[in-house]
A and B are shown apart, each in its own frame.
Chain A
């Protein structure tokens, strides 16, 4: 288990690093997919089968594929736009964000009970429980997410419609 964890972690971190450091846009997305797969592997390792499968289905199957599709629809289909500055001028902003997130995560992992229970017990989170929790305890955030996504969808349609009308 331990070795698998480290291998998966290495894959995940490498995927994430490549995703921001590679020159070619498509290569970046492909490494991002590697990263997503690594995360899914971690879920499987934590016995969260459902989450793992959903991670692959949604992030690899939909999000990343849509990213690739979007890249293909632009003029930079080949993905290479010459040398790209990896960190750019705002590297300090990125560093700041990373430090803040790491601090937050560290605090959460140290303090929160949930984070301490799960990996040790190997508790099987079944999708029935997830489903029940979604429509009972967490129904408000769940619905809020739904509204948010619907709003985003309508917004996308409106933007697209404007273009269609203008073209006429």
Chain B
């Protein structure tokens, strides 16, 4: 057990380091810039330089801050993110820990990370930090609900909370591909819901309300510097990578792909597929970050409660239909119709909130 854990930890920490670089490069290219290209060829040593820089930076604690909580927050930010990786099956032969409550464990652990955001924001005794903390708490609590419900759909279909069993349930089919849950109507909807929820949970860009630079400086980590800041960043990135891994496991077929299997060769191929899909999710995250503007606070909460929540409940009903309509073509038609109906209705409902064209008082 120790070797898979060590392997997974080091690999994912490496992925974390290079995700930051890839993200900066990709964002640069999206904005027609180069991105980091000074430290080593193509900036390949940039993460090391960044790490060193943050390590030797001065650690500033505000005098009025709550010293103990201020110190504890970054530590708590990282621990849950690392624990999340323990239930992600990386390959057929490489599962760090197979808990029979895998998914539930992941959610339980990821909720703890919101505490870190709160503690960091509250302990800094800074109004921007506090605002960031409030936003973070409201956001995470709201988005957790649709996210968990989206996961419930998968759990219902598989009949188990274990991530390994979920991954296994998606093997078979043509080329080990057609059984992935994204290729089911409910699975596709669940995938979209879960991805949105995961993005909001790890405060990635369209939902980076808690650290909106243009509004509240840096939100809850305004008062953090040096390595504590690095820990916050690390926790955030690790959580979003782990969430990407869980998304892959639940919807994108986990480690399944052409050639994956239980043997050694199949195991290696399955790891290859897992990391390809993980890379896909990370790139999708970066791409979205480079494209979409930040949502407003009220839009954020309204979207979670008025659109995502009904949709995820409808999705659960769809899984029920899928389960009982054993004649597959009928199940396809019925669930698709049902979900499309809900999507259209909710779009209409959301559209009625359209505001009138803005009238400018001073500008024309």
Contacts and interface: CB of A to CB of B under 8 A. Distances in A.
A13 B134 CA distance: 29
A39 interface: no
A61 B111 contact: yes
A21 interface: no
B338 interface: no
Given A30-B119, A78-B125, A69 B109 contact: no
A152 interface: no
B216 to A, nearest CB: 14
Query: In which size bucket is the chain A interface?
Result: 20 to 34
A145 to B, nearest CB: 19
Interface string B75-111: 0000000000000000000000001110011011101
B222 to A, nearest CB: 16
Given A49-B101, A57-B107, A78-B125, A69 B112 contact: no
Nearest to A69: B137
B212 interface: no
A72 interface: yes
A7 interface: no
Nearest to B112: A60
Given A60-B112, A60-B115, A61-B108, A69 B101 contact: no
A101 B134 CA distance: 37
B301 interface: no
A14 interface: no
A69 B138 contact: yes
A57 B111 contact: yes
A68 B130 CA distance: 12
B164 to A, nearest CB: 15
Interface residues of B, number: 27
Interface string B233-260: 0000000000000000000000000000
B104 A61 contact: no
Given A65-B118, A69-B138, A56 B108 contact: yes
A127 B103 CA distance: 13
B137 to A, nearest CB: 5
Interface in A112-154: 126-127
B282 interface: no
A68 B115 CA distance: 9
Contacts of A105: none
Contacts of A127: 101, 161
B87 to A, nearest CB: 11
A65 B161 contact: no
Given A33-B115, A65-B114, A69-B138, A53 B104 contact: yes
B99 A49 contact: yes
Nearest to A126: B100
B203 to A, nearest CB: 15
A58 to B, nearest CB: 9
Nearest to B114: A65
Given A30-B69, A69-B138, A77-B130, A50 B101 contact: yes
Interface in A13-46: 24, 26-27, 30, 33
Contact of B141 (A27, A66, A77): A66
A69 B161 contact: no
Nearest to A61: B111
A68 B111 contact: no
B101 A68 contact: no
A53 B105 contact: yes
Given A30-B69, A65-B114, A53 B101 contact: yes
Would you list the 4 A-B pairs with minimal beta carbon distance, nearest first?
A61-B111, A56-B108, A57-B108, A53-B104
10 contacts: A26-B122, A30-B69, A33-B115, A56-B109, A61-B111, A62-B141, A72-B134, A72-B137, A77-B130, A127-B101
Interface of A: 24, 26-27, 30, 33, 49-50, 53-54, 56-57, 60-62, 64-66, 68-69, 72, 77-79, 126-127
Given A49-B100, A60-B111, A61-B112, 8 more contacts: A30-B119, A50-B101, A60-B112, A61-B111, A65-B115, A65-B140, A69-B138, A72-B134
